[in-house]
Amino acid sequence: MGAMGAAAGAWLARPMMSLARAVPAGRVAVGVCHEYGADVTGTLAKMFDQLGGLEGLVRGKTVAVKLNLTGDATDRLGYLPAEITHWVHPQVIGATVQLLGQAGAQRIRLLESPMSTSEPLEEFMLQANWEPHDFASAAPRVEFENTNYLGYGKTYSRFWVPDGGLMFKGYDLNHSYEDCDVFVSLAKLKEHVTAGVTLSMKNCFGITPCTIYGDDSPVDEPSLAPRGGRGPFHEGNRPPSKSAPPAVNGQASKDPGYRVPRVVADLVASRPVHLAVIDGIHSMAGGEGPWCDKVRHVQPGLLVAGTNCVATDAVCTALMGFDPMADRGTPPFETCDSTLRLAEQLGVGTRDLSQIEVLGTPIAEARFNFRQS
Amino acid sequence: MNVDRNWVPMKWPCGPLEIAHRNKLGSQSPDLKETLQAWARPSALELLKGTPINCLIVEWADGGPEDSAQQQALKPLLEAGRGIGLSFVAKIALKGDAGASVAAARAAGLSAVMIENASGLSSELPAIRQFPRDKAAWETASMIFSATENVWPGLNLQTMNGDTALAGPTGIPWVNSNAWFSLLARELAPGKTLWLDFDPPAASNLLHPAAYALAVADSRAHESRWIISLDDELRAALPKGNVQAKGVWEKLCESAAFFEEHKEWQAFKSQGILAIVSDFRGDNAYLSGEVLNLLNRRQVQFRIIERARTLPALEGLKAILWLDHETPSAKEHAQLLTCVQQGGLVIAAAYWGTPDVKPTEKDPSLRYRLYNVGKGQIAVAEDGFQDPYQVAMDTHLLVSRRNDLVRLYNPETTNCHSSGESVSLHKGRQLVQVLNYSSEPAASVGLWLNERVESARLWQFGAAEARTLQGRPASPGTQFDLPPLSVYCALEFEGTKL
């Protein structure tokens, strides 16, 4: 892990990793923004100020921003563009990049592992009818990398999970997740059919390369290009390539509702998130993508940002009309374990709203009930 | 007598020869025999009333003992057919001299013969040469020529798991289509008409109504014609007035009639900013054919240029894929370099540009060396061209999706073809034809055009008139929300630039 954790400086506390120890409290800013447009940048700027400002976090640093661009670029809910339903909106990306640049970030790297392809991230964006130049021109030095394979790296970077991990002892990732000083998870406010909700933590599920963790990855070594989905995580249908750290327990449950939350908790414990930003202006309810049954477009009109991913996701969960203290059997975790609880147990952060300082619009005023919308 | 390029052909299997064929294949049954006899009767032609089908292909001779009986048995059918304006083409499957069979066909008043083996052919009747598509004899193609060994268009049954389409190599359901071959034929046999010969897959029940309409559309949208061929169940059911069979037949005829009403589209030229250059023959045939097929599946709009022809003015082209192992001739080399120096991209398996140019940094996912030459680039595959899938994908990425002419959203089982009155993207009428290769209607399909237009005329089967479909800006182009797509629709636009 090298200097990753410390590199962000004193602006944020490095998550403590021991079980049953006190977890860091968080500050989470909630902004109301009813529509994409000029208000996005201003709202985000205000929220970042409420969190203490970005400058202390990013000045002179390399900032890696993991985007949430799940699924195929041509999959849509009805005729709606992906960014109106299940992808983080390009205006939120552009505004975040602009504000990171204004705060002095030396290099901003936009990262995502697009579905089953090693094509350049810019090409994946173009397929969705996005213009990557818009991001590149929003700050002085903006780069793109597809992290679903080795990419520009010479080797994969290994991230060990503190205290041994819940599903895997460690994870091999694209170099971009190590070669950065600050890691930002830029996610969408959504439900998830397997994990209950998908926010800044679940977004990190996509940092894993399908060259190693894909359904058709080679047995021994990573493939050159990603192959298939992440069956080894979802269903445990096979182990990852042997080059990567093994499972903690090879006989662990095959239930995706057991496995996916644990993998996510492992990932955010091993690759800490320094800043979580969640786009909830437009979204979808009922699932994470148009491939899910009974999904529908919703417009919560919210932006959320925080310095701790567990606390931020807990606030988001509450904003969506759920209890962040809920666990398996209770919405939104009817069929899965709570990633919030698991990450909290790993010492990443707290999900207890009473321990979280909510800035900006209070939860009660901003709540948008996903199940009743 | 001359062949008529406007013929709408249909196989009309019947009579003793077909019955003998089926006996040999072991597929004969009393019901089928009755059907084959029934279709030899003039009354069977009632089916064609009010349809655009005007040319029937009948089995005529295969050198066996039934030839004479067949020709005798068909006389009433031929006479009745001619009386209602039908033309007949005699299918002759002889390994030896076909002269006698051709003469018999002429004497019986047939209009042409369809034949693979041309030896012994006289000029007594026009010939429609037929060949397997991997042995295409482009140089000797007749005015109408026919190819066999085509695929039945639709989702590949071998990639289906029940009702669920499994992914193909592209990550989306694999579909079978003859589109690429139709487009290739148009370039390699210009001014001639390709008839695609393929039969419905063996089915235990009537095919879905959309299946036949798709077989028509997959051919006609790409400037060829399918020799309409019905499955045995359908042929048996139609004379009995089966309602479901009638519905299937009506859908088929509706689609055929649609394209007859839009014959002018046949003259439209394929549009694209990418040219695929090859001789498409011999050792280059497999790679070039597969690359065309896979680029088409990626919805990449391209123009095909046969290497032997002088490379046309490269106006409107941004990229050239030089597929062949052979290096360009001096003349071709000069033309290609001019294109590159003016800002174009040439993709090739070997570097033959200006010496002493060092390759530049590239994206690690693309195993190409990029040479900057003039204002443009030559991209050279580090390991040559080996896997057609990789070549097609790399080509799309090297050219960049920024240059896509069209894109489909929610496209899993759909594809499209862009053409126009001119190869130029900005002159005259333009057309985008969209096809759905699933038997289930495609919902919420979005069509994105890389130009700004206010609206388009939306054409659909069964609608006598087009309706106006409003576009909405989707920078830098226009998005059209298509209605539920059973099989096919076409968007036509001109003079409506924003």
Q: In chain A, which residue's Cα lies nearest the Cα of B448?
A: A129
What does the alpha-carbon distance between residue B225 and residue B231 come to, in Å, rounded to a whole number?
A: 18
CATH number belonging to the domain at B9-261, selected among 3.40.190.10, 3.30.310.10, 3.90.70.10, 3.20.20.70: 3.20.20.70
Q: How would you classify the pairing of strands B488-493 and B455-460?
A: antiparallel
Mutating which of A119, A148, A216 best tests the B interface, going by the most B Cβ atoms within 10 A? A119
Q: How far apart are the first and last CA of chain B?
A: 50
What does the alpha-carbon distance between residue B468 and residue B48 come to, in Å, rounded to a whole number?
A: 33
Q: Which two tokens stand for residue A323?
A: 């209890």
Please name every residue paired with B302 in a beta bridge, in sequence order, or none if there are none: B274
Neighbour count for residue B398 (Cβ, 10 Å):
22
In angstroms, the separation between the Cα of residue A300 and the nearest Cα of chain B is 24
Q: Is A172 on the interface with B (CB under 8 A)?
A: no
What does the alpha-carbon distance between residue A216 and residue A312 come to, in Å, rounded to a whole number?
A: 34
Q: Where in B76-121 does DSSP place strands (E)? A: 87-92, 112-115
For B272-403, give the CATH class: alpha beta
Q: Do A79 and B411 touch (CB under 8 A)?
A: no
Q: Which two tokens stand for residue B84?
A: 């209602």
Q: Is A155 on the interface with B (CB under 8 A)?
A: no
Please name every residue paired with B113 in a beta bridge, in sequence order, or none if there are none: B90, B127
Q: What b-and-e string marks burial along B466-489, b requiring 16 or more CB atoms within 10 Å of the CB?
A: eeebebeebeebbbbebeebbbbb
Option in B364, B400, B476 nearest A123 (CB): B400
Chains A, B: CB contacts within 8 A come to 56
All residues at 6 or more sequence positions from B35 whose CB lies less than 8 Å from its CB, including other chains: B232, B235, B236, B239
pLDDT at B353: 80
Report pLDDT digits (tens) over A252-303: 999 999 999 999 999 999 999 999 999 999 999 999 999 999 999 999 999 9
Q: Which residues does chain B have with pLDDT short of 50?
A: 168-170, 496, 498
Q: Is B316 on the interface with A (CB under 8 A)?
A: no
Q: Where in B180-294 does DSSP place strands (E)? A: 193-196, 225-226, 269-270, 274-278
What does the alpha-carbon distance between residue B141 and residue B130 come to, in Å, rounded to a whole number?
A: 8
Q: What is the mean pLDDT of chain A?
A: 93
Option in A76, A146, A225 nearest B444 (CB): A76
Q: Do A74 and B364 touch (CB under 8 A)?
A: no
Mutating which of A77, A122, A129, A156 best tests the B interface, going by the most B Cβ atoms within 10 A? A129
Q: Judge contact between B153 and B210, C-beta under 8 A.
A: no
Q: How would you classify the pairing of strands B302-306 and B455-460?
A: unpaired
What does the alpha-carbon distance between residue A253 and residue A236 come to, in Å, rounded to a whole number?
A: 8
Q: Judge contact between A136 and A98, C-beta under 8 A.
A: no
The pLDDT confidence band at residue A15, using thresholds 50, 70 and 90, is very low
| Chain A residues within 8 A of B165 when measuring between CB atoms | none
Q: Do A126 and B363 touch (CB under 8 A)?
A: no
Q: List the 288-317 stretch of A: residues with Cβ below 8 A of B.
A: 290
If we measure between CA atoms, which residue out of A27, A13, A59, A40 comes closest to residue A280? A40
Report pLDDT digits (tens) over B172-206: 678 999 999 999 999 999 999 999 999 999 866 77
Q: Is B389 on the interface with A (CB under 8 A)?
A: no
pLDDT at A2: 36
Report helix, strand or coil for B377.
strand
| Chain B residues within 8 A of A151 when measuring between CB atoms | 364-365
Neighbour count for residue B334 (Cβ, 10 Å):
12
pLDDT at B164: 55
Task: Considering only residues A227 and B229, tell me which one the structure prediction assigns the higher pLDDT.
Answer: B229
Q: Which two tokens stand for residue B105?
A: 């066909």
Q: Judge contact between A30 and A48, C-beta under 8 A.
A: no
Report pLDDT digits (tens) over A157-214: 999 999 999 999 999 999 999 999 999 999 999 999 999 999 999 999 999 999 999 9
Sign, CA dihedral A94-A98-A100-A106, equals: positive
Q: Where are the domains of chain B?
A: 9-261, 272-403, 405-493
Q: Do B397 and A118 touch (CB under 8 A)?
A: no
The CA radius of gyration of chain A, in Å to the nearest whole number, is 18
pLDDT at B498: 38
Helix (H) / strand (E) containing A43: helix A39-50
What type of residue sits at position B294? L
Option in A127, A150, A151 nearest B401 (CB): A127
In angstroms, the separation between the Cα of residue B294 and the nearest Cα of chain A is 16
Mutating which of B300, B363, B404 best tests the A interface, going by the most A Cβ atoms within 10 A? B363
Q: Do B410 and A72 touch (CB under 8 A)?
A: no
In angstroms, the separation between the Cα of residue B124 and the nearest Cα of chain A is 55
What does the alpha-carbon distance between residue A305 and residue A43 come to, in Å, rounded to a whole number?
A: 11
Helix (H) / strand (E) containing A121: helix A121-127
Report helix, strand or coil for B71.
helix
Q: Which two tokens stand for residue A170?
A: 């460690």
Q: Is the pLDDT score of A21 beyond 80? A: no
Option in A75, A81, A146 nearest B365 (CB): A146
Report helix, strand or coil for A301.
coil
Q: Do B171 and A117 touch (CB under 8 A)?
A: yes
pLDDT at B171: 55
Q: Judge contact between B71 and B41, C-beta under 8 A.
A: no
Q: Judge contact between A317 and A278, C-beta under 8 A.
A: no
Q: Judge contact between A191 and A198, C-beta under 8 A.
A: yes
Mutating which of B164, B361, B362, B365 best tests the A interface, going by the most A Cβ atoms within 10 A? B365
**How far from chain centre, in Å, is Cα B238?**
27
Q: Which fold has domain B405-493?
A: Immunoglobulin-like (2.60.40)
pLDDT at B159: 52
Please name every residue paired with B469 in a beta bridge, in sequence order, or none if there are none: B456
Mutating which of A122, A123, A125, A134 best tests the B interface, going by the most B Cβ atoms within 10 A? A123
**How far from chain centre, in Å, is Cα A341?**
16
What does the alpha-carbon distance between residue A335 and residue B164 come to, in Å, rounded to a whole number?
A: 25
Q: In chain B, which residue's Cα lies nearest the Cα of A227?
A: B171
| Chain B residues within 8 A of A210 when measuring between CB atoms | none
If we measure between CA atoms, which residue out of B169, B171, B173 comes closest to residue B160? B173
A180: Cα within 13 Å, side-chain hemisphere: 27
Q: Is the pLDDT score of A67 beyond 80? A: yes
Option in B397, B408, B474 nearest A74 (CB): B408
DSSP string, A53-83: -SHHHHBT-EEEEEE---S-TT--BTTB-HH
Option in B364, B393, B444 nearest A151 (CB): B364
Q: What is the dihedral of CA B231, B236, B238, B241, to 10 degrees?
A: -150
What is the residue whose two structure tokens read 């018999």?
Answer: B104
How buried is residue A91: exposed, middle or buried, by Cβ count under 10 Å (0-12/13-18/19+)? buried
Option in B400, B410, B476 nearest A74 (CB): B410
In angstroms, the separation between the Cα of residue A279 and the nearest Cα of chain B is 21
Q: Do B397 and A225 touch (CB under 8 A)?
A: no
Q: Which two tokens stand for residue B204?
A: 């235990």
What does the alpha-carbon distance between residue A137 and residue A139 come to, in Å, rounded to a whole number?
A: 6
Q: Which two tokens stand for residue B140?
A: 């000797």
Q: Do B364 and A79 touch (CB under 8 A)?
A: no
Neighbour count for residue A45 (Cβ, 10 Å):
18
Report helix, strand or coil for A259.
helix
Q: State how far the alpha carbon of A188 is from the alpha carbons of A88, A290, B309, in Å.
A: 5, 14, 53
Q: Is B448 on the interface with A (CB under 8 A)?
A: yes
Q: Do A123 and B397 touch (CB under 8 A)?
A: yes
Q: Is A127 on the interface with B (CB under 8 A)?
A: yes
Please give the ipTM for the structure prediction.
0.91
pLDDT at B196: 98
What does the alpha-carbon distance between residue A209 and residue A207 come to, in Å, rounded to a whole number?
A: 6
Residue A260: phi and psi, rounded to 5, are -60, -45
In angstroms, the separation between the Cα of residue A82 and the nearest Cα of chain B is 10
What does the alpha-carbon distance between residue B128 and residue B114 come to, in Å, rounded to a whole number?
A: 5
What does the alpha-carbon distance between residue A101 and residue A95 come to, in Å, rounded to a whole number?
A: 10
Q: Where are the domains of chain A?
A: 151-175+199-274
Q: Is the pLDDT score of A7 beyond 60? A: no
